Copies of this chain bind each other. A is one copy, B any other.
């Protein structure tokens, strides 16, 4: 089915869409802006869910589920929140054959309904902290959509926590940002920069928003996850107080944090090449694909016997393995097919290999081919996969470093953006009007204010005034 994809350098955007469709990750749904996540794409999401869910639970969180329909009036209770989300909600006006008394909004995010419930559940400091996460679908009516990156309905997780002090809320906000960084870098092999979003880019209703920002292979930035310190804003909007240890009522402190199926877009655009997808072993549905090669039933018999032995050896070593024994397509077709689908390691096994008790092993990310003895191959695979995982992370990190520039003047800034792209580290005076002017002139925005700041942030790249921070500027998804 796959006949190659557009080259990245010819049209990165088309390359992306080609890969998503030819690797059968996703397809367009019948309603504009909706997406069908196909089994191979969904298996990546399951691996992501499994990894993240484990990290959430290890940090003391539990899962729950809240209704997707929110009374329209709830959204209006927090002033910034309604301004941010009202323009993009989908609204249910009829149900059960009747017009509803109050229209229901399909959740664009669940702060309002969750804080409505927290009012019932929280009364004392002993009820805190409350550390809840939800895996769910949400809807945001976007005009310009792209598979995985921005769809009207998407899958995500949203953590919503309640705390007794502002310090604990801030600590939680940063803890979860670090969980996202760990997951992005160690599971997805996608290096990220952690930092605070500018005021104009923060979440509607937050006191502070932090993000992880990754560089895609076209050198544009992808905001891959956000963590918000909501202060007492939602507690005040929903009147959620607790008796503190001095027996005084106090508004509860909140955080929320989320990542979505957008992460799959991040994996594709961090590692992929002109042959298609390149998956990090930790989130790959299949880590190894075995292609048996034979011409007649005698050969088939001896080759398949080795294949089954190898397969069960790999499974015993905890490796996710697929045997492609479909006899209606050729080995060459299969090589392309599984390269398109980004399987980290391919093993080819034919009659001569059986004779020599060896196999051909091809590593997807660099195309390296080696002949290896069958003996010990299965046992060595976890280490090989760990090496692949590290190698593609290192490659992505080097790519980001090679495409990160420092600008010392506004002229230099403009020429970097128009000629090279990538991330620019430059000083900013912290003024939203300046941020807006830079965006208008170059389409680059402040991605975040990295935690990792130099001793002297230098001068504001636009005004020449002393800078408040060094920030990351980039064009983004």
Contacts and interface: CB of A to CB of B under 8 A. Distances in A.
Interface in A327-349: 328
B95 A91 contact: yes
Contacts of A153: 67-69
A155 B104 CA distance: 19
Given A62-B39, A63-B39, A69 B34 contact: yes
A430 interface: no
A87 B91 contact: no
A356 interface: no
B91 A93 contact: yes
A441 interface: no
A31 B8 CA distance: 48
B43 A69 contact: no
Given A71-B31, A104-B31, A63 B46 contact: yes
Contacts of A35: 67
Interface string A24-48: 0001011100111111001101100
Interface string A105-132: 0100000010011001000001000001
A433 interface: no
A161 to B, nearest CB: 12
Given A69-B153, A94-B91, A43 B62 contact: yes
Contacts of A90: 69, 92, 94-96, 104
Contact of A96 (B66, B67, B96, B143): B143
Contact of A36 (B27, B64, B86, B141): B64
Nearest to A86: B97
- Copies of this chain, complex-wide, total 2
Main secondary structure of the interface of A (DSSP, over half): mixed
Nearest to A116: B30
Residue among A67, A70, A86 with max Cβ neighbours from chain B (10 Å): A67
A421 B62 CA distance: 40
Contacts of A62: 39, 42-43
A141 B34 contact: no
Interface in A145-175: 152-153, 155
A346 B55 CA distance: 28
Contacts of A92: 90-93, 106
A74 interface: yes
B71 A30 contact: yes
A366 B88 CA distance: 54
A89 B93 contact: no
Contact of A66 (B36, B64, B94, B97): B36
Contacts of A30: 67, 70-71, 74, 113, 116
Given A29-B117, A43-B62, 15 more contacts: A27-B117, A29-B113, A30-B116, A31-B104, A34-B69, A36-B64, A36-B117, A42-B62, A45-B65, A69-B139, A91-B92, A91-B94, A92-B92, A96-B141, A106-B106
Interface of A: 27, 29-31, 34-39, 42-43, 45-46, 62-71, 74, 86-97, 103-104, 106, 113, 116-117, 120, 126, 132, 136-137, 139, 141-143, 152-153, 155, 328
5 contacts: A29-B113, A39-B62, A91-B93, A92-B106, A96-B143
